[in-house]
Amino acid sequence: MDIFLSFFESKKWPFIVQQWKKDQLRRISRVRIFPASVFPRFRFRYLLHCMPVIVASSLTKIYSPKSRHAVRALDDVSLQVQRGEIFGLLGPNGSGKTTFIKLLLGIAFPTSGSGTVLGKPLGCTEAKARIGYLPENHRYPPYLNGEQILRFFGKLTGLESRLLEERIDEVLKQVGMEQWRKVKFRKYSKGMMQRIGLAQALLNQPEVIFLDEPTDGVDPLGRKEIRELIKHLRDRGTTVFTNSHLLSEVEMISDRVAILHKGKLIREGTVSSLTKAGDQWEITAHGNVDSVRMDLQARNLRFQLDKERIIITVPDLQEANHVSDLLRSRGLLIEGMQQKKHSLEDFFIKVIQDESR
């Protein structure tokens, strides 16, 4: 603690703050200006901003632990999610994704392990006021219309009535449901239900939002809009924690992902690090491909031919440069050279298959 105090009371801290602001402005919506008069509060908030938003430490959940049919839904899962991240939790059906979110929100209780959300213990009411949640297969009161649903959940969130009415207008506009606000929920299509669910989750301007299959039942155009909305939230500093079966979508939006399998966390990392295929590079060129075919075979390189185009996979960057020199010397035009990547889906399937063996 003394180290912190001496650090913040030294003259260096304004420069550090400037740097921190630059870094966070892109990601944090509600960057607060902390005048010197509220220095202690600032110090506290700065520390809060540096803390991970979600921390899970050895979370384990066993349903009916004393029965013969005990189900270990989650097994010693530890992970952290930083502020302003889009974090994707992947896994096959029954892998424990929804259970994990339920533990974080206090909907279910861990058998062992602990965790925090926004620095508060799991299920803490104070933290829930700053959380948004869109559950999978949500069931809203069918007798209410979109606006009434938002009003009901807004009141439960503790929003003051004037602010609530403003927020209802804003979120309905955000999810494109303004013209359906007076229509009963039971008359909504699946996509519209999902949009209202999303609006409900956004109502309290959450600092962290949990989305369980957010694009479920939504058409491609709607999915694109939801993706853009999620990215917009991230840009405003909201931490987004999402579960989805649609791996291509998770790949498009997530900063980091984790894979759960049979309740265990088997992989975790940035999308780019997980989808990177070692040091392999891929060179695309066109021209007289026959002139290089023999040389490539001699170098034991894999390649695909498509009329006058050739795609060559090389083991590393050095070899990629040699090959590109060779191609140029034979008069071929290089169209592109990039580090080879798997899709997240390929990676996911491979990992799950490896684990299942």
Partner 1 sequence: MKLLAIIENTIRESIAKKTMIGFFAISNVILIIMLLIALFSDFDINVKLQGLEQFSNGASPLETLVRTMEVMIANLLYMAAIFLSIFATASIMPNTLEKGAIDLLISKPVSRSTILAGKFIGGTLIVFFNVAYYILGMWLIISFRTGYWDGGFLLTVFPITFAFIVLYVFLLFIGVTTRSSALGIILAYGFLIILSPLLAKREVFLYAISSSEAYRGIVDVLYYILPKPDDISSIMNNVILHSEINWMPVWSSAIFAGVLYGFTQYIFNRKDF
**Whose Cβ is closer to partner 1: residue 114's or residue 338's?**
114
- In angstroms, give the least distance from the CB of 218 to partner 1: 17
Q: What residues have CB less than 8 Å from 342, skipping those under 6 apart?
A: 275, 276, 277, 350
- Contact status: 126 vs partner 1 (CB under 8 A): yes
How far is 49 from 117, CA to CA, in rounded Å? 13
Neighbour-count burial for 237-264, b at 16+ CB within 10 Å, e otherwise: bbbbbbbbebbebbbbbbbbbbbbbbbb
- Per-residue x/- marks for partner 1, 248-287, CB under 8 A? ----------------------------------------
- Contact status: 93 vs partner 1 (CB under 8 A): no
- Contact status: 69 vs partner 1 (CB under 8 A): no
| Residue 119 backbone class (left: φ over 0; alpha: ψ -120 to 50; beta: rest) | left
Cα–Cα nearest to 195, from 209, 210, 181: 181
- In angstroms, give the least distance from the CB of 157 to partner 1: 6
How far is 21 from 28, CA to CA, in rounded Å? 9
**Whose Cβ is closer to partner 1: residue 145's or residue 275's?**
145
Residue 54, strand partner residues: 81, 117
Considering just the CA atoms, what is the radius of gyration of the chain in Å? Answer: 25
**Whose Cβ is closer to partner 1: residue 164's or residue 320's?**
164
Q: Kindly indicate which of the ranges 8-16, 107-115, 170-178, 336-344 contains the residues binding partner 1, using the contact rule CB under 8 A.
A: 107-115
Residues 189-228 that bind partner 1 (CB under 8 A): 200, 210
Amino acid letter, 220: P
- In angstroms, give the least distance from the CB of 169 to partner 1: 19
Residues in contact with partner 1 by the rule CB under 8 A: 63, 102, 105-109, 125-126, 128-129, 131, 133, 135-144, 152-153, 155-158, 200, 210
